[in-house]
Structure 1
């Protein structure tokens, strides 16, 4: 266990540079005192690690020191190349770079682990788009990615649901979600900085500006995306339908409408009625969208309210029955 910690500390210092003992302790889930002992052990083993004192201090390796990657376990080698996304990397203009990096990494591995990596690549493939839809294609994606890398401001003409807008943005990051690329960017409106999300395929025109912006050091892309995704779904499905639903179709609800809707239904469900159904809240986007969605559940769901949704579903059911009469 300690050998694994020592290797993790070594690789962290090699990739990140200056790291505090507190950061290492949180990463390793150990005490700061344990980190002190582990760093001392690395120094005793000949690793040139030293401490920088002061409030902005921490541990770092002697400049120029590098170690070969020969401490990977079999499982780590198996998983190493499963993280690679050749398709998206090529869309970002990094296909050749990723291939070159993988080749160099493989060359640095022992022969046995190189064989395990090759086996993983032959046996597993990641296909990011969802079923029945194609991945987004944008001619500007590589240029946007370059602006993200170099902290360059961009000017975009963007097609929204409510019309088109032109904005200057500070591009902070790109996210690939179910085959769709999203740009996370900061904009200044009325003197206030706002973080927004833009679907890349809806960018009609792009201009990369010469101006360089200073990134907010506290901005964390994964945290932002997690919070934004949750808020987006909650705002999109702000209306609650009062339904009687058959618990046997919970899994179907999850597949059709996603985790947020399914979790809300299950959490709000009351005690089963004599016929087995339960009363629950079901988040919907609008009356029109809900009609199309709930018809997929057939008689397994009955809408009690709002009244306009119940009436719309009844009209759709009668029209469907008449069509097949």
Structure 2
């Protein structure tokens, strides 16, 4: 495709995209809105608006109470032109899964209902192809167990990784090791993405003996290569995630936690791990049992329960939690030394 053809194609895509926005924006769009969204000059924004009107019919001018003119499109002509991408439906499903993990079933149900309506609007001829693409995309993402604040991830990185995972293409990126502070260039076979208190890429490097985790916040200058790889058919991302409490991988152990009666109701609403069993005790306390690795991440969470939880198994988790609390107490126990 030469430069002139590419420019015309991109402009046609912008016209359809603007038409979609003008139809979907309840309060309409102003010229300033169009300029900002499409990163164009005012004159180009006017041309795009006029092109939408010429292609799809007259634009309605809304009375919004301010001095700027707001335009909105009411047309049925877009139905055959708007394409719902599998990646967009995958984003809705990923968001629904995160809400599920946070106990917000009503919100996740609303997102899935919206996704169903969007699928119903899609042309049937592409339904099977979309289902296949969506299945591939969702296999490439998993959820670790600890929701929380998200560090910043380089723009476009998730899209690049999703495409590479679906196409089984290796990726290259600069990686800043959080333990040593050293930066290196890595070539990785990407298997999937795990979301937890941090987002991680699960991938295989030639020098490693199995899948490794790479913090997405520490990844920069990523690119997909032309090198394809054969994905291990035995690898399952969700099973990999469920080996741990959080994303850090280590051999799983049996964990037994007893929550006091005064917090048993609260603890009973938590999903600590997919493998957990919960038993209500005669004294009103609650015993939660599961198998997982990631003892440090368990300690970070258990600290939030303070004296209301007792680690019954394993002993090394109890010792690690006690050591962590002792270290924190020593660090914060002398307020006068830090200006009290």
Q: Scaled by the length of structure 2, what TM-score is found?
A: 0.39
